[in-house]
């Protein structure tokens, strides 16, 4: 009797339960930190997009949250639904002249105005628009 009870309620069972809780807590915090990382990349991207010495996107594009926007390019709205494939956005920001040789949009990647990492953050931001 005592042996049987200790098998189900004993320290082994408690350790297993504790292990499961620890694993669940770890999974939960991993999920949160992934969301938090995406969030922080998007807000980093917003900073780069609005920074006059970096993306300077507001010179040509109206963007939600930005001020003193120009209208040389189209307003950047509904970008996520227009370009569900983020690689397409990476391509546009890296070198729009590939799509449109006549464009006035600077090739931010090809001309090393922005690094690949900065372009990726800008695209994370564009996908929130």
Sign of CA dihedral 78, 82, 87, 89: negative
Tell me the closest approach of the beta carbon of residue 29 to ligand HEC, in angstroms: 32
Stretch that binds ligand HEC, among 4-12, 13-21, 26-34, 92-100 (CB under 6 A): 92-100
Please choose, from the candidates 56, 58, 45, the residue with its C-alpha nearest in 3D space to the C-alpha of residue 89: 45
Closer residue to ligand HEC (CB): 5 or 112:
112
Both tokens of residue 60?
């040509």
Q: Is 55 in the site for ligand HEC (CB under 6 A)?
A: yes
Tell me the closest approach of the beta carbon of residue 68 to ligand HEC, in angstroms: 13
Burial class (CB in 10 A: 0-12, 13-18, 19+), 32: exposed
Burial class (CB in 10 A: 0-12, 13-18, 19+), 76: buried
Segment 95-124, which members bind ligand HEC (CB under 6 A)? Answer: 96, 99-100, 103-106, 108, 122
Residues in the chain: 129
Q: Is 91 in the site for ligand HEC (CB under 6 A)?
A: no
Q: Which residues are at the interface with ligand HEC (CB under 6 A)?
A: 49, 55-57, 59-61, 72-74, 76, 79, 82, 89, 92-93, 96, 99-100, 103-106, 108, 122, 126
């Amino acid at each position: 009797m005592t042996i049987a009870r200790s098998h189900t309620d004993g320290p082994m069972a408690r350790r297993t339960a504790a292990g499961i809780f620890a694993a669940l807590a770890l999974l939960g915090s991993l999920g949160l930190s992934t969301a938090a990382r995406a969030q922080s990349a998007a807000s980093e991207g917003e900073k780069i997009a609005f920074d006059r010495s970096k993306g300077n996107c507001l010179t040509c594009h109206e963007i939600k949250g930005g001020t003193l926007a120009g209208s040389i390019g189209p307003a950047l709205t509904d970008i996520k639904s227009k370009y569900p494939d983020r690689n397409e956005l990476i391509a546009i920001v890296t070198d729009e002249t590939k799509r449109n040789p006549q464009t006035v949009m600077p090739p931010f990647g090809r001309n090393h105005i922005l690094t690949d990492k900065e372009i990726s953050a800008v695209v994370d931001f564009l996908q929130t628009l």
